[in-house]
Chains A and B, each alone.
Chain A
Amino acid sequence: MNLFAGLAGLGRSVLTLLAAFGRVALFTLDALSHIVRPPFYPREFGVALMHMGWLSLPVVGLTAVFTGGALALQIYAGGARFNAEAVVPQIVAIGMVRELGPVLVGLMIAARVTSSIAAEIATMKVTEQIDALVTLSTHPMKYLVAPRVLAALLTVPVLVGVGDVIGVAGGYVVATENLGFNAAAYLKNTVDFLEPLDIVSSLVKGAAFGVIAAVMGCYYGMTSGRGAQGVGRATKGSVEAAAVLILAANFVLTGVFFSI
């Protein structure tokens, strides 16, 4: 009897999880479809672009520079165990561009942008501003969701590119100032080692993570519960979901790019 109850509970959990995935997938498709269908709201898009892109640069830059520096120290220390200290430029470059740059930028965007979107939209829902939009003949998916998702799709790859460069620069500074590397040789090794596919994979990951971050913020905001508790849960849920999905998407995309 207990076994059947356990199985039934497991089945219910799986169904609930699948239903949640289905709702998020439908919401994502709806959001993407509104990006290409008029009316468009350029002012909202511009505000989202500024908020997600320009205003995220300091946190992305700081995250990247410290990570690049730490990476150089770790690789140097680890490489020294089998006389391979010289690989620091190559491993910093590939580590930042293929993996750490996109993932860390994605996670920082999830912390900074996803939470902000979810809190803002959830508050709008709780205070009936979403209903007010509808009564003013304005579709919330077009006015609130589409501009934010499009802005994330376009800005996060740029942020990832900037993060990659700053991360590599962080490694360069540590390697040349503290570890005794020759500056010109470090740069040459970095540039020679990176392949176009490394950069493409970094930017594609950035675009995917940007969409995930924006969609999760919008989804949790639009489906939030009532009151301050509803806003709090929406914000927390959005960041958790975005972070987990970004890491899962990173695994899948890394597998895809390895197979190319």
Chain B
Amino acid sequence: MIRMENVHKAFDDNRVLRGMNLEIPKGTSMVVIGGSGTGKSVALKCILGLITPDSGKIHVDGQDAAQGDRDAFLARFGMLFQGGALFDSLPVWQNVAFRLLRGSLKRPVEEAREIAIEKLRRVGLRENVADRFPAELSGGMQKRVGLARAIAAEPEIIFFDEPTTGLDPIMSGVINDLIREIVTEMGATAMTITHDMSSVRAIADNVAMLHDGVIQWTGPVSEMDASGDPYLEQFIHGRAEGPIEAVR
């Protein structure tokens, strides 16, 4: 279980998180939604320790995220970044097998390559992609490679940062389905941040709406449409009028 308690984070005068509380039960898929600049990515990066919160507690399976062996902590996570964040200087298979080629999870090169190719197949990419470089791939293929990298070491927890941003609706659907399948078959705990309501419906067990630095509403995805929460309703119906100011 991932638990955020009263997490605050500000950048100079900009108070992004203002006491965020969130619980993600083990083995479930939580999708965090909210407008641009509301702190969704900041929350995710606080859990991973990429950003240090100003105050508050973050626990992963009862362990304080800021304490203990950092490598062991991060080894439990996989992450798909918004732009893929693939390493330009490495071929695709070395991107996917990055964790398997060094550090505590190191495997022989041939075995790491085999695993990388297997993971590429799992996300619908052919073996001939393995030796290409990220710059030679389309946006959708890069996302799939990023997804393959996120699952290569079979992590317990997977984070997806805007997994369908910049993709056409068909490719978005493919990525959403892949994420749902992979999370289900691996039994992983997942946290996704997105604006894309089709992603929310495809991926989520639970949904949390972040606004003004706090979670305005959280609950099962099945209850989202009948929540009665004015913030959530405005967001999911994409209305310009409502409690969320259109100009921020």
Contacts and interface: CB of A to CB of B under 8 A. Distances in A.
B71 A127 contact: no
A39 B105 CA distance: 13
A135 interface: yes
A128 B85 contact: yes
B74 interface: yes
B81 interface: yes
Contact of B83 (A47, A127, A137): A127
Contact of A128 (B82, B99, B103): B82
Nearest to A134: B50
A124 B81 CA distance: 13
A134 B47 CA distance: 13
Interface residues of A, number: 14
A177 interface: no
B81 A136 contact: no
Interface in B213-232: none
Contacts of B89: 47
A137 B75 contact: yes
A130 B211 CA distance: 28
B116 to A, nearest CB: 13
B74 A134 contact: yes
A135 B45 CA distance: 10
Given A39-B102, A41-B102, A129-B87, A135 B74 contact: yes
15 contacts: A128-B81, A128-B82, A128-B85, A131-B45, A132-B81, A132-B87, A134-B50, A135-B78, A136-B149, A137-B74, A137-B75, A137-B99, A137-B104, A138-B102, A138-B103
Given A124-B87, A134-B74, 13 more contacts: A128-B83, A128-B85, A129-B85, A131-B50, A132-B81, A132-B86, A134-B49, A136-B74, A136-B99, A137-B99, A137-B105, A138-B102, A138-B103
Interface of B: 45, 48-50, 70-71, 74-75, 77-79, 81-83, 85-89, 98-99, 102-105, 149
